[in-house]
Structure 1
Amino acid sequence: MSSLSTHEAIVWWEFQQGKSTGEIAENYQEERSIPSYVQQTLDDKSNEKISLGDAAYVSRVLNRARKKIEKILSDNANSHRLDVESLLDYKGLLIGFDYQASAAVYIVFTMKLGPVVWYKHDSYAGKLCDGTPYDRPAEDTRNLDPCPKREECREILDTIMEEYAITLRPDEEELYMTQQSIAIFNKLAAKEIPRYKRRGD
């Protein structure tokens, strides 16, 4: 079941793609189709056309979405017994620390996968993403089994990058996902918020 209403999901998606509330309202003054990515995440799969009205309404919808997302992130942090360091509800990100695991933890809200809880880690059971033992990098990794979570991790990171319009530099694309994930979360935390952009920027 989707955590956000149709209007909330549309506004959240457009906001994370870099549009201000004013731009979103302007784009949805006339009825238009729901963005295909958002449509896939909704419980209601009807192809209705949506109009959002003025910027004040869009701002209210965004605030409702932020409050829901803040609760989702906080509830997940509590269930994982994390020490919360920062909660950036307008970016869908909570950064915390798990003292039992002695690890930084990132919780990211996604429309597609729901809240994603990611523990910062160097390897999975001693293996890097290509199956190389973490403490003994091999030159030839063709015969090694990859980490069993590799595909799941790739889907998670790709989803976060798509939903939050994050791009990696070529050198970051070459990193193991354990390292790449930190680059992605840092970019999300540092991401500029559309409503603070000056007009004409």
Structure 2
Amino acid sequence: MSALRVLKAILGSHASLALAAMLALGAGMAPSPVSAQGILPIVSCTGNHAATWSPGVTNATVLHTVTTDTSWSCTQLIALPVLTSASSHEQFTAPFNCNNLFSTAPITWTIHWSDNGGPATSSFTFTATVAPVNGNLVVTAPGNITTGRYAGRSATAVFTLLNLGATLNAQCSSATGVTSASGPSTFLIL
């Protein structure tokens, strides 16, 4: 099959990618800087993200154990389209408070792929930024795949923590603080 035919097949069969992007925007997710540049991803994933903080985050800066669980349904958009799922489970300890829930230091997550398409993991190193959008907190995490499957490629994850803006206002001054947040997530590999 010629390269032109492959490209037409990929673009024609992935109108759902455009629909997913529009749905993500409608759900309050900000477009990633990479997708805003018009670069087509080679892997497009959508799913859910959940984070917990122990002890709960309050206005005081203390050491917290942070646990994150993310799961995605993914489509590889190069060569022959491949459907797969991916997940990440991370746990780390860091000092936070309600005014600073996220670290600006680079973070590395291990992405676990569920198919047999080569290396079963990818190391995704990123730096996150946070923006309030319609009462939610949108975490944009641009970075790179440093090892494993898709090594050398750039990637961006976006996590929308639903209603976290309102939760912070209501729970930061309480004794228990903010203990969890969740919402939709996208993950694009370029």
Q: Same fold (TM over 0.5)?
A: no
Q: Give the structure with the larger strand fraction.
A: 2
Q: Which has the higher contact order (CA 8 A, sep 6+)?
A: 2
Pick the structure with greater CA Rg: 1
Q: Give the structure with the larger helix fraction.
A: 1
